């Protein structure tokens, strides 16, 4: 239990966005994904996910870890209602209409609450993504459903201290999701084996160094010096503890940093690429599109549109 307490204490949490929606037009998103964790609470109607389109029951929550891809259906759909993730986000208002909790009670349509949040170990590693777990349903857990509703209600309010309350509720959400996993023994093996980075301070030193120097030289030679291991061994050492080789991890963190800059600054794509360690803008753009399925410019427009829509 002490180990899991350490895991939870090391996870930094941040609310990103959330809203209640009425399904205006049923849709299947063939490759639904987000750079952060997503929860979908089904109030009424139909939500399905995965290749076999497993059903989420009313009152249950679909959990999609950061950057995991899944086929997700909102409402009762046919084959012709399929779109990709890019098309869904660019035309979100066509499919989902924002509504209040009061409207949900009186609605006859499919209604959901969708919320995204960040959960990172040492502010560096996407916690749920790093576990390697797939999207799954949180069943029979009214407490988590209530927390999700409380976060959205608070985000809609204009009362003092709402940001603090949202942060507290979002942290509670993460704790309860981990507790749900442990109680129901859903991904306990993954939680035990894929979280080995908590056990080695040298790896933590590397995580912190990568974060602070995301735009600089992060070659294996540099990482070996940080961890005080040989250059020949550092790649094997990093992969043994994280399940990923260091350069793949670094690229993922650079792209995450790029997404954050796209969301929060007006810097050019060229400057953002340089800031996160890419001297060649064309190469940065190719890698970005390969990772997220859409160009950096479209990602910026998508995020702006989502923020406007709430």
How confident is the prediction along the chain (310 residues), in pLDDT tens digits per residue? 666 777 787 788 999 999 999 999 999 999 999 989 999 999 999 999 999 999 999 999 999 999 999 999 999 887 778 999 999 999 999 999 999 998 998 888 899 999 999 998 766 678 898 888 899 999 989 999 999 999 999 998 888 999 999 999 999 999 999 999 989 888 878 777 766 666 677 887 888 899 899 999 999 999 999 999 999 999 998 888 776 789 998 998 899 899 989 988 899 999 999 999 999 999 999 999 988 888 988 888 766 544 444 4
Residue whose entry in the numeric block shows the structure tokens 């679909």: 62
Model pLDDT, residue 304: 57
pTM over 0.75: no
Model pLDDT, residue 41: 98
Cβ atoms of residues 275 and 257 within 8 Å: yes
Model pLDDT, residue 124: 66
Model pLDDT, residue 306: 46
What is the spatial distance between Cα 135 and Cα 17, in angstroms, rounded to a whole number?
A: 19
Model pLDDT, residue 302: 66
Model pLDDT, residue 77: 80
Is 79 strand, coil or helix? helix
Question: How many residues make up the chain in this entry?
Answer: 310
What is the spatial distance between Cα 128 and Cα 168, in angstroms, rounded to a whole number?
A: 19
Instruction: With residue 206 as reference, give the H or E element that holds it.
Output: helix 201-212
Cβ atoms of residues 122 and 207 within 8 Å: yes
Which has the closest alpha carbon to 120: 276, 253, 277? Answer: 253
Cβ atoms of residues 58 and 43 within 8 Å: yes
Question: How is residue 228 annotated by DSSP?
Answer: T
Token pair, residue 148, equals 């999700």
Model pLDDT, residue 241: 75
């Amino acid at each position: 239990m002490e180990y899991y307490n350490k895991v939870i204490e090391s996870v930094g949490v941040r609310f990103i966005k959330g809203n209640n929606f009425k399904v205006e037009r049923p849709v299947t998103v063939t490759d639904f994904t987000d750079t952060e964790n997503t929860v979908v609470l089904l109030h009424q109607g139909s939500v399905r996910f995965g290749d076999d389109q497993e059903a989420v029951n009313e009152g249950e929550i679909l959990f999609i870890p950061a950057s995991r891809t899944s086929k997700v259906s909102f409402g009762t759909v046919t084959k012709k209602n399929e779109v990709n993730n890019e098309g869904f986000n660019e035309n979100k208002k066509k499919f989902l209409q924002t509504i209040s909790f009061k409207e949900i009670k009186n609605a006859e349509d499919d209604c959901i609450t969708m919320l995204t949040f960040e959960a990172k170990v040492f502010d560096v590693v996407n916690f749920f993504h790093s576990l390697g777990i797939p999207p799954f349903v949180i069943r029979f857990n009214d407490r988590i459903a209530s927390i999700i509703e409380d976060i959205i209600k608070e985000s809609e309010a204009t009362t003092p201290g709402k940001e603090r309350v949202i942060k507290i509720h979002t942290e509670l959400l993460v704790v309860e999701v981990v507790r749900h996993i442990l109680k129901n023994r859903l991904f306990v093996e993954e939680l035990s084996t894929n979280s080995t980075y908590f056990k080695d301070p040298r790896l933590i030193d590397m995580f912190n160094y990568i974060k602070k120097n995301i735009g600089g030289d992060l070659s294996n030679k540099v990482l070996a010096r940080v961890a005080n291991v040989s250059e020949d061994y550092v790649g094997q050492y990093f992969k043994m503890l994280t399940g990923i080789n260091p350069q793949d991890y670094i690229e993922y963190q650079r792209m995450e940093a790029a997404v954050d800059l796209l969301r929060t600054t007006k810097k050019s794509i060229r400057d953002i690429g340089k800031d996160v360690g890419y001297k060649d803008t064309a190469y940065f753009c190719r890698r970005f599109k390969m990772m997220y399925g859409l160009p950096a410019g479209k990602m910026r427009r998508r995020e702006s549109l989502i923020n406007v829509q709430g």
